[in-house]
Each structure stands twice: as structure tokens, then as C-alpha cells.
Amino acid sequence: MLAWPLPMYDKFLVIIIVVIAFTSTIAGTTTTVVGQNQIINLTALLNPDTNNDTNDTTTTSTTLANITADTNMTATNNMTIEDAKELYLSVWNETEFNATFSTFIEPFSAAGYGVYEERSNIFAPGETIVLYVELVGFAHKQVIDEERGSNNNTLLYLMNMTSDYKIAAANGTELELQLIEDEQGLRNITSHRPNTEMYLTLTLTPEIQPLPVGSYVITYSVIDEISGESFELEKDITVAERE
């Protein structure tokens, strides 16, 4: 039992104890709401600095973003790999058929998705031109595995892409050149999975005469035969004699 009146230093001690108890209560309540790592942010949200309106807006926005991020992180932590795949495919099926990446590569160097030997867009006369293309948004068609008999109910996924090309001089004049065209990667491919990491290699080789020295624009057309969607890629090249 404290005796009254208290000495000056005892009064000071009582004030400190009360402040600590009050602060602990607030901190405990805040932790229950948003988690321990958000105490400071929530305190800032509830007690803005009235002397600086700009900082208030920034602090509030940042705090709300942090709380939202924590909520999303919790949902992500509860997601399985299969759930993530299903979510990815649902977005994939709503994505426009297109190329996410393309580059010229050395012939026969493509050994898998993202595995290739890149090269410049300068070619010697008569040299084979190979374009590597990574695709997104192509369709998968479910088909029955007929090779194992009519009684087999195994479902496969068919992917089928074709391509075409036009070549023009730098001034826009289209050239009538006979080039051997070869497409590799997604021509009537069947898979047990709806694959998404697939690529094309589009190869052009002079058939009769090489491209003369100069600058050109090759327009590649890629068609998804299942969905009917298509897109074009324009690539600048230079044909020059080797030094």
C-alpha cells in the first residue's frame, strides 16, 4: 500500500509504470489485429502526423499495402502446387496468343525451352536464318489416345502451330525469293499435360540464290491452328560479306 502523499521520485515511478502498462495493452491489441510485424504500421495509420498532409497520405497508402500483402501472403502459403497450376492455366486460357520472347540463334543449337546459342542479326549471303520464339496463350485441344486402341480413354492435349513469312527490302519493297521454310517445335504435338513452356524455331534457307548484300525486314506469321488466333513478328536483318 502506497502512503500518500508520495515523495516526488515515487510519483515519477508510478507514472512510468502506468505508461508501460498502457503501452503494453495497446501493443497487444495491435498484434491481435494485424500481426507483430505490423504494429508500427498500424500505429502510424491510426495516429497520422497532422503537421504533414503529404506524409499522411503516403504512410496510410503504404500501411494498407503492407496489410494487403500480408493477407495475400497467407493465401499463397496455403496454396498447393496443383492449385497454382490451375490458377496459371485459368489465366493462360484468357491470354492472347502471342510471343513473349524471340531471338536469332545458331542453327541446331535449340536444345529445350530457353536453351540455345544466341547470335546477332547479321548474316552472310546464303547463310541459314533461324529464329527462336517463345509462345504464350496457345490453345490445348483434348483428344483421345487412338494409338492404343478404341477402348482406351486416355486424354491427351494437342498443340498445333504453323508459320509463314514475308521478306522485304529496307525501303519496303517485297521480294519474291524462294527460301526453304522449316518450323520445329509445335507441329501436331500431343502431350499428357497442357504444356506451357513450348517454343518454335523458324528456319529460312536460300533455295536457289542467296540474299544479296543489304538490309531486310522479315515478317513472320505464326498461327495457332486450334484456336485460329495468329500474330506477326517483324525482324530486321543485315546480309553482309564476312570479313
Q: What is the CATH number of domain 96-239?
A: 2.60.40.2550
The per-residue pLDDT for 75 is 58
Share of the chain above pLDDT 70, in %: 63
Banded model confidence at residue 231, pLDDT cuts 50, 70, 90:
very high
Q: DSSP per residue over 64-107, as a string?
A: HHHHHHHHHHHHHHT--HHHHHHHHHHHHTTSPPEEEEEEEB-T
Tens-digit pLDDT profile for residues 3-16: 545 554 454 444 44
Given a cut of 60, is residue 29 above it in pLDDT?
no
The per-residue pLDDT for 61 is 53
Q: 195: helix, coil or strand?
A: coil
| Residue 160 near residue 189, CB atoms below 8 Å | yes
Sign of torsion, CA 39 45 51 55? positive
The per-residue pLDDT for 206 is 79
Domain locations in the chain as residue ranges: 8-77, 96-239
The rounded distance, in Å, linking the Cα atoms of 200 and 223 is 12
The candidate with the shortest Cα–Cα distance to 176, out of 189, 166, 162, 161, is: 166
E strand or H helix at 217, and its extent? strand 214-224
Given a cut of 90, is residue 221 above it in pLDDT?
yes
| Residue 71 near residue 38, CB atoms below 8 Å | no
Secondary structure of 41-75 in the HEC alphabet? HHHHHHCCCCCCHHHHHHHHHHHHHHHHHHHHHHH
Tens-digit pLDDT profile for residues 154-202: 889 999 999 989 999 988 888 877 677 776 657 788 899 999 998 999 9
**Mean pLDDT of all residues in 64-71:** 54
Sign of torsion, CA 32 33 34 37? negative
The per-residue pLDDT for 41 is 39
| Residue 41 near residue 66, CB atoms below 8 Å | yes
Burial 158-171 (b: 16+ CB within 10 A, else e): ebbbebebebeeee
The candidate with the shortest Cα–Cα distance to 95, out of 231, 239, 2, is: 231
Residue 181: other Cβ atoms inside 10 A: 14
Tens-digit pLDDT profile for residues 88-138: 988 999 999 999 999 999 999 999 999 999 999 999 999 999 999 999 999
Given a cut of 90, is residue 226 above it in pLDDT?
yes
